[in-house]
Amino acid sequence: MLRAEAKGQPLEFDTVGLVGGNEIFKDRQTGTRWQQSSLQGIDGPLKGEHLQLFPFLLTNWAEWRRLHPDTLVLKPLPGYAERIPTMNAIIRQGLSGKGEAPAGVLRRDDRLPAKQMVVGLDFHGVSKAFPLSALRQVRVVNDKFGVEPVVIIHQPDSDTTTAFVARAKGRSLRFRETDDQVKELIDQQTNSRWNPFGLCVSGQLRGAQLESLILQPEYWFAWSEFHPDTEVYQAVPAK
């Protein structure tokens, strides 16, 4: 999800094709073409500019509706509703991790299968991919990006995935889950209890809210092509 503006100018976009196996958007206002994965203008008046990610939650419909019972739902445009079953089948196939990269991909990285679904994070000068298959095993990942502590939280029943700077009231924190579905966490430093959306609900740090980070869901072939120096998280089984 992107902020539809550049240099303070609101923009409207249309999909116009693929470059490197990745979607290209063209804005109606300036005619600039934008690469989806890099968020960069690749030709036109705004070439070299970068679009900004808009904060969003990676989850499923049941969890979103639980969190936001009064939410509105976008009505499909005429002709699109009929395509939804086909699109859902493509998404399910993608989540399986099977299949080859598109023919137009310019760079291949064999560290993961091409269509392995990952959530990528760019933060503090570090780029890192977290395979969903690994997050389903580990669920709570305490990590560091540069000097900043980071926690990645995955709720397996809904595939809800969130990420935060693991710091509150000037203190770096490490977390562990209290249950298999990660409905609650405890920090090791104060034994305070947190929900999976970064809010401390009880204990010494009650009321503290962790700074949210934006994860980018991508196929591995797309993330690795536009983040060639990316690190890859590897799950370490609990002892």
Q: Is residue 33 part of a domain?
A: yes
Q: Is residue 3 part of a domain?
A: no
Q: How many CA atoms, within 13 angstroms, populate the side-chain half-sphere of residue 51?
A: 27
- Give the number of domains in the chain: 2
pLDDT tens digit string along 206-238?
Answer: 999 999 999 999 999 989 998 999 999 998 755
pLDDT tens digit string along 154-180?
Answer: 999 999 999 999 999 999 999 999 999
Q: Is residue 6 part of a domain?
A: no
pTM confidence score: 0.85
What tokens appear for 216 in the block? 């980018």
Residue 140 pLDDT > 90 = yes
Range of the structural domain that residue 80 is part of: 56-239
When pLDDT is averaged across residues 13-35 and rounded to a whole number, the result is: 89
Residues 200 and 229 placed together within one structural domain of the fold: yes
* Averaged pLDDT score across all residues of the chain: 90
Q: Is residue 1 part of a domain?
A: no
Task: Give, as one character, the DSSP assignment of residue 177.
Answer: E
Is 188 within 8 Å of 173 (Cβ atoms)?
Answer: yes
Residues 94 and 142 placed together within one structural domain of the fold: yes
Strand ranges of the sheet holding 22-27, from the earlier edge strand across to the other edge? 13-19, 22-27, 33-35, 41-43
Q: How many CB atoms lie within 10 A of CB 117?
A: 20
Q: Is residue 7 part of a domain?
A: no
Residues 121 and 234 placed together within one structural domain of the fold: yes
Q: Is residue 114 part of a domain?
A: yes
Q: Is residue 99 part of a domain?
A: yes
Sign of the alpha-carbon dihedral angle for 42, 43, 45, 48: positive
Q: Is residue 2 part of a domain?
A: no
Distance (Å, rounded) from C-alpha 158 to C-alpha 164? Answer: 19
In our burial notation (b when 16+ CB lie closer than 10 A, e otherwise), range 11-35 reads bebeeeeebbbbebbbbeebebbbb
Burial class (CB in 10 A: 0-12, 13-18, 19+), 85: exposed
The one-letter amino acid code at 112 reads: L
- CATH code at 203? 2.102.10.10
Residues 224 and 210 placed together within one structural domain of the fold: yes
Residues 16 and 114 placed together within one structural domain of the fold: no
Residues 154 and 166 placed together within one structural domain of the fold: yes
Look at residues 132, 150, 144, 136 and name the one whose alpha carbon lies nearest to residue 211: 150
pLDDT of amino acid 89: 74
pLDDT tens digit string along 66-103?
Answer: 999 999 988 877 777 777 777 777 666 656 666 777 77
pLDDT of amino acid 95: 61
No. of H helices and E strands in the chain?
A: 4, 20
Residues 65 and 179 placed together within one structural domain of the fold: yes
Residues 85 and 177 placed together within one structural domain of the fold: yes
Residues 44 and 111 placed together within one structural domain of the fold: no
Task: Give, as one character, the DSSP assignment of residue 125.
Answer: T
Residue 194 pLDDT > 70 = yes
pLDDT tens digit string along 106-129?
Answer: 788 999 999 899 999 999 999 999
Range with lowest mean pLDDT among 35-39, 42-46, 104-108: 104-108
Residues 31 and 102 placed together within one structural domain of the fold: no
Residue 17 pLDDT > 90 = no
Confidence of residue 189 (pLDDT cuts 50, 70, 90): very high
Higher-pLDDT residue of 104 and 31 is: 31
